Amino acid sequence: MLRPEFAVKRFGERYDRAEVDALIDKLLATVNRTTTPSVTVEDLRSAAFRTPLLGPGYSAQEVDDFLTDAEQWMPDRPAVRPMPTGQHREGPLFTPVRIREGYSFEDVDEFVERVMATVNGEPVKRPVTVRELRKVRFTPVRLSEGYDVEEVDNWLDQAERWLTGED
């Protein structure tokens, strides 16, 4: 695995470069098996970095995306248990809302499609990871139809249990 290069930003969402570099060094050593595994999948999922008060930092989005992708290279990554032959988890049906705030149909539908392909063991270009599931944010909509926020959020909790093998 090659060392990633992240964009350096002076403003906006950014992470302390030294903290990110330290985790990446441990991650590379773990993945390349040059040391006893010192970074776990849970370490990647729970990684938190300070935002520099002044000065540049790494793009938070790029670092988060990299850590999500890095889970697949980890020796201790949990495998999503494939569904037994003949069984298939069905996607959710959310209630559309109009007057109160909802989530964008398009955002939710695209993400749900990837989650369902992942949990059902179907081919998907970019399988959903638990880290991505925990960080997903949908576009809120007002004055137009969207999905019920509470229903979608409850389903995300269920999907996390599927991905972690707790259900």
Give the 3-state secondary structure of residue 59. Answer: strand
Considering just the CA atoms, what is the radius of gyration of the chain in Å? Answer: 18
Same domain flag for 111 and 145:
yes
Does 38 have pLDDT greater than 60? yes
The reply to whether 100 and 60 lie within a common domain is no
Task: Return the percentage of the chain with pLDDT > 70, whole number.
Answer: 89
Q: Residue 147 above 80 pLDDT?
A: yes
- Per-residue pLDDT, 1: 60
d(CA 68, CA 74): 11
Is 30 within 8 Å of 74 (Cβ atoms)? Answer: yes
Domains of the chain: total: 2
User: Is 92's pLDDT higher than 90?
Assistant: yes
Q: Which residue segment(s) compose the domain that 67 sits in?
A: 8-73
Q: What are phi and psi of 24, to 5 degrees?
A: -65, -40
Query: Which of 73, 88, 108 is at the close of a domain?
Result: 73
Question: Residue 146 pairs with which residues in a beta bridge?
Answer: 97
Among 73, 104, 130, residue at a domain's last position: 73
Residue 153 lies in a domain: yes
Q: Residue 73: which pLDDT band, with cuts at 50, 70 and 90?
A: confident
Whether the Cβ atoms of residue 158 and residue 115 lie closer than 8 Å to each other: no
Its pTM stands at 0.59
Rounded average pLDDT over 63-71:
83
Establish if 131 belongs to a structural domain: yes
